[in-house]
Amino acid sequence: MKNFAERLIAWQKRHGRHGLPWQQTRDPYAVWLSEIMLQQTQVGSVIPYYQRFMLRFPNIATLAAAPLDEVLAHWSGLGYYARGRNLHCAAQMMVERHGGIFPDKFESVMALPGIGRSTAAAILAFAFGQRRAILDGNVKRVLARCFGIAGYPGLKPVENILWQKAESLLPDSGIETYTQALMDLGATVCHRKPVCVACPLNAGCVAFKQGRVAELPEPKPRKPQPQRETVMLILLREGEVYLEKRPPVGIWGGLWSFPEADVKEDALAACRERFGIEGRPLPALPDFTHTFTHFRLKVQPCPIAVTAWRPEARQPEGLWLNLEEALGAAVPTPVRRLLEQLGG
């Protein structure tokens, strides 16, 4: 397609997004934070988290020096918590290796945890004006439709073709506007249900001309999503609730959560054996399902009033907190949901 970059740049200046908080700066720290938060998360959800995060952690040094618990507390509810852990780790790496300065070399940025090829390119384009190609999910969709590239973009051979195309289309100048234009077009026009009449590329778009918009890009081959089940033990004692810290890796790594038991396990017996707690069951809360990327988790809340306990049996990674304290901790969304029900 002729004038691909020029068409996009002109469109972005007239119709693109210009008022997002991270667009008002070239500070690589702020750009980095926004790019990480925007991974798999909508702009509207990100903005309040970004603003709160920047107020508390305004620079690399502040973030690196903060306790991980506090970082995750500010991330709580945004999901994909490995992003928050990687941010904290990367900030500490930059303090140790780069004197607290965000690096401007592609290889150095790629070496930071949580940053892949496309994210590194976006940061360097927006913060330093470097001429680099991006290829996030939105851009893959735009290129697949515009140039009629078949196949599921998550497959390596298809992704390689898309990368080659993305590299070949880069403009000689105006990389920041061009990069933003690709992001904006994919987010606001060329989404799953595209508004092709508003697209600046429709005259040369293969999918539009051939009536293949609904076919491209090809979807990921679907597999049945497995379902797991767990019982969350909601232990209540004198106005306090018991939370324990999860292992640093895995689902909800490093976050505070209710202890869990197997659905076939006797909940009261589990409390007695694991925590030295005697209790009585309270009225049940409704079961619910929480969906992750690769599976669905059915949660059975099990509220228990603690009637007696042995202090010496307390687990070192557990804390008794009142509801306000618990809601202020770094807790995953399902735990927050249950805490809010208890407080309601």
User: How large a percentage of the chain has pLDDT more than 90?
Assistant: 87
Least confident of 120-129, 130-139, 158-167, 245-254: 245-254
Q: Which one has a higher pLDDT value, 276 or 141? A: 141
Q: What is the residue type of 22?
A: W
**61-109 confidence digits (pLDDT tens):** 999 999 999 999 999 999 899 999 999 999 999 999 999 999 999 999 9
Q: Which of 223, 243, 225 is nearest to 233 (CA)?
A: 243
Mean pLDDT of the chain: 94
**Domain edges within the chain:** 4-210, 227-343
Q: What is the pLDDT of residue 224?
A: 84
Contacts of 249 (CB under 8 A, 6+ apart): none
Q: What is the pLDDT of residue 46?
A: 97
- For residue 24, name the pLDDT band (cuts at 50, 70, 90): confident
Q: What is the pLDDT of residue 318?
A: 86
Please give the sequence-ordered ranges of beta strands (E in DSSP) within the chain, or none if there are none.
Answer: 227-237, 240-245, 256-257, 260-261, 277-281, 288-291, 296-309, 318-322
Q: What are phi and psi of 188, to 5 degrees?
A: -115, -20
Q: What is the pLDDT of residue 312?
A: 58
Q: What is the pLDDT of residue 191?
A: 94
Q: Is the pLDDT of residue 202 over 60?
A: yes
* 167 belongs to the catalytic site: no
| CATH of segment(s) 4-210 | 1.10.340.30
* Catalytic residue (one of 6, 35, 265, 278): 35
Q: What is the pLDDT of residue 309?
A: 82
Q: What is the pLDDT of residue 314?
A: 56
* 276 CB neighbour count, 10 Å cutoff: 15
**Contact assessment for residue 280 and residue 305, using Cβ atoms and an 8 Å cutoff:** yes
Q: Which of 24, 26, 105, 102 is nearest to 63 (CA)?
A: 102
Q: Is the pLDDT of residue 33 over 60?
A: yes
| CATH of segment(s) 227-343 | 3.90.79.10
Average pLDDT over residues 299-327: 85
- For residue 161, name the pLDDT band (cuts at 50, 70, 90): very high
- d(C-alpha 30, C-alpha 312), whole Å: 46
**Contact assessment for residue 57 and residue 63, using Cβ atoms and an 8 Å cutoff:** yes
Q: What is the pLDDT of residue 311?
A: 66
**Contact assessment for residue 133 and residue 163, using Cβ atoms and an 8 Å cutoff:** yes
